[in-house]
Amino acid sequence: MESVSTFWGLRLFLVAVIVFCSWGITYKNKDNNYFWYYAIPIIVFYTLIQGLRFNRGVDYPQYAEELQYDIYSSLHITREFLYDLFVMAFRNFKIPYYFGFMVYSGLLIWGVMLVVKKFYRYAFWIVPIFYFLTLDASENFIRQYIAIAFVFFAYYYYLDNNKKMMYIMLLVIPFIHLSGLFVVGVFLICTNIDFTKYIRTPIPLLGFFLVLTVVWDITNLDGFSDILQSTDTFESTNFEGYVDNSDKWFTEEGDLDKAKGVEESAARKLTEFLCNCAIIWFGFAVTKEDRRFNFAYYGSYVAIIIGVIGGSIELIGRMAWWLLPLEPFVIGGMFKPAKKYSITEYALMGLFILTYYVKFFMQVGKPGLFGSAFVWDIVS
Burial of 148 (0-12, 13-18, 19+ CB in 10 A): buried
Residue 87: which pLDDT band, with cuts at 50, 70 and 90?
very high
Average of per-residue pLDDT values in the chain = 89
CA distance 57 to 139: 5
**The pLDDT of residue 230:** 59
Above 80 in pLDDT, residue 363? Answer: yes
Above 60 in pLDDT, residue 159? Answer: yes
Find the mean pLDDT for residues 224-228.
Answer: 58
Name the residue with higher pLDDT: 66 or 300: 300
**The pLDDT of residue 36:** 97
Residue 184: which pLDDT band, with cuts at 50, 70 and 90?
very high
* pLDDT over 90, % of the chain: 71
Max mean pLDDT among 30-39, 61-70, 151-160, 196-205 falls in 151-160
Find the mean pLDDT for residues 62-85.
Answer: 81
Neighbouring residues of 215: CB distance < 8 A, sequence distance ≥ 6: none
Neighbours of 149 (CB within 10 A): 26
Burial of 251 (0-12, 13-18, 19+ CB in 10 A): middle
Find the mean pLDDT for residues 3-15.
Answer: 96
Residue 78: which pLDDT band, with cuts at 50, 70 and 90?
low
pLDDT tens sequence across 106-128: 999 999 999 999 999 999 999 99
- Residue 176: closest CA among 201, 150, 154: 150
**CA angle, residues 286, 211, 215, in degrees to nearest 5:** 145
Residue-range domain boundaries for the chain: 4-378
Burial of 109 (0-12, 13-18, 19+ CB in 10 A): buried
pLDDT tens sequence across 286-337: 999 999 999 999 999 999 999 999 877 777 889 999 999 999 999 999 998 8
pTM of the predicted model, to two decimals? 0.91
Residue 39: which pLDDT band, with cuts at 50, 70 and 90?
very high
Above 60 in pLDDT, residue 258? Answer: no
CA distance 321 to 311: 12
Residue 225: which pLDDT band, with cuts at 50, 70 and 90?
low
